[in-house]
Chains A and B, each alone.
Chain A
Amino acid sequence: MNLFSGFLFFYVLILLLIPAAVLGLMGKKLKWYGFAVTLAFTVMVFSTPGKAAFIIGFYILQLLLVMSFLAIRNKVSEKWLPYLLALYVVLSVSPIVLAKLNGLLGLHLEFLGVSYMTFRAVQLLIEIRDGFTTNVKILDFTYFLLFFPSVSSGPVDRYRRFLGDINGVQTKEEYWESLQAGVRRLFTGALYNFVIAGLLQQYVLAVLPETFLGNWGYMYGYTVFLFFNFAGYSKMAIGAGYILGVRMPENFNMPFLSHDLKDFWARWHISLSTWLRDYVYTRFVRESLRKKWFKDRHTGSYIGYVLTMMTMGVWHGLDARYLFYGAYHGLLMCLNDVLDNKWKRFKKLKKDPVWEPVLVLITFHIVSFGLLVFSGRIF
């Protein structure tokens, strides 16, 4: 079974969400039921021997890492803590590294959901290192790591936020709101993903010739297709989460109205870009400022953007197109930052009624070209 595709999945999803809705409307806590539903979907999705072996191994590895890090966190001096965290993060990301090398090495191992589950595990390790999470219950950790709606395509949730939702109880009125919001998102997501993206795939992307003009058209078509496909999937995942009492963060906010690239990344795959902002960019820039690594303090920010976007590219895969995509966005974010810092008028232009639409159009084209490369259409 694949998540959010096929009649069987939706049939089982609706069957399993109905009791959640009833419990929620009665004002009951949904944690145990939601956990049971997540376990049921985990068993159904990871049903082949290869997938089952992966998920069991992955779960045990991440559990051992989190619990052992928690146990030794306070016994290690502050000086050595960053090195210890680095070691734990390397171990935590080792399955995703193997997954990315899988194709290159000609292996045939199965790593379904590894990308998003790795984000969850690494975030928790960093939370423990920062001292914001000092106690982890196995059930909470298991539920967080495996939470099925967002396991294969996000959104990327945060541990403390997730915990607040599963351990809290919504009133009947609050749950009624959540249920409506959840059902609305499920339907809108299905419309985006299956109808709009499906039509674009069939009647636009599949018929465009591989000529210069054909590729030019493909660039627009693929950009719009990817939005509806991905935002649709996110909406369905968020919708299912709402019905289970977990209000995951939104992942898209009208990205094609962005007036520059920074604005775009605040609107596109928001949960991923804010994760990378908080755990890659912020960490690097903060160290560079605290330790005065660079004469010009903005240099740290420029390097931080390249590092962050390269991480995003590599996370998608090790193919040349993903590496290019990461470097492309990294360098353009630097350019965006330079314009913000050095060209005072840039901020005003972004709010100017004449110039803003021009900037929106330019940004759309910059983004679309990046996605054309990302699609693998041109190399």
Chain B
Amino acid sequence: MKMEETKIIEALCEICGAEPEDLEGDMELFEEGLLDSFGVISLFVELESIFGVKLDPTEVERSVISTPDKLVAFVLEKL
């Protein structure tokens, strides 16, 4: 699972324009201005191409994917 987690964080960092060490697990990505609507869609499309799973932003409310930890948990559950 560790490798998948790294890939998710790398994709998130690329979308946010941040370095992995800048992101804390409980950081509120939307409130901090790191993710917006376009960011979420870009991230999900990127993760779909990496893992070959279908991710739908409307499946869950934003609060479910609002921090790196929550996002990782949501995506890992789909794999």
Contacts and interface: CB of A to CB of B under 8 A. Distances in A.
B45 A281 contact: no
Contact of B41 (A279, A289, A340, A351): A289
B10 interface: no
Nearest to B62: A274
B42 interface: yes
Contact of B36 (A130, A297, A340, A350): A340
Interface residues of A, number: 21
A132 B38 contact: no
A342 interface: no
A92 to B, nearest CB: 17
Contacts of A132: 56, 58-59
B58 A286 contact: no
B52 interface: no
Nearest to A337: B38
Contacts of B44: 286
Given A289-B45, A290-B45, A350-B33, A301 B58 contact: no
B57 interface: yes
Interface in A253-293: 262, 277-279, 281-282, 285-286, 289-290
Interface in A130-149: 130, 132
Contacts of B41: 282, 285-286, 289
Contact of B37 (A282, A290, A298, A350): A282
A301 B59 CA distance: 20
A72 to B, nearest CB: 21
Q: Interface residues of A: mostly helix, strand, loop or mixed?
A: helix
A127 B48 CA distance: 20
B33 A347 contact: yes
B50 to A, nearest CB: 13
Contacts of B38: 285, 298, 301, 337
A291 B44 CA distance: 14
Interface in B32-79: 33, 36-38, 40-42, 44-45, 48, 56-59
Contacts of A290: 45, 48
A336 B11 CA distance: 24
A298 B40 CA distance: 13
A180 B45 CA distance: 43
Nearest to A348: B33
A297 B37 contact: no
A262 B37 CA distance: 10
Contacts of A282: 37, 40-41, 57-58
A279 B45 contact: no
A17 to B, nearest CB: 28
Contacts of A351: 33
Contacts of B57: 278, 282, 286
Contacts of B37: 277, 281-282, 285
Highest count of chain B CB atoms <10 Å: which of A130, A285, A298, A351: A285
B3 to A, nearest CB: 24
Interface in A306-355: 337, 340, 347, 350-351
A347 B32 CA distance: 10
21 contacts: A130-B59, A132-B56, A262-B36, A278-B57, A279-B58, A281-B37, A282-B37, A282-B41, A282-B57, A282-B58, A285-B37, A285-B41, A286-B44, A286-B45, A289-B41, A290-B48, A301-B38, A337-B38, A340-B36, A347-B33, A350-B33
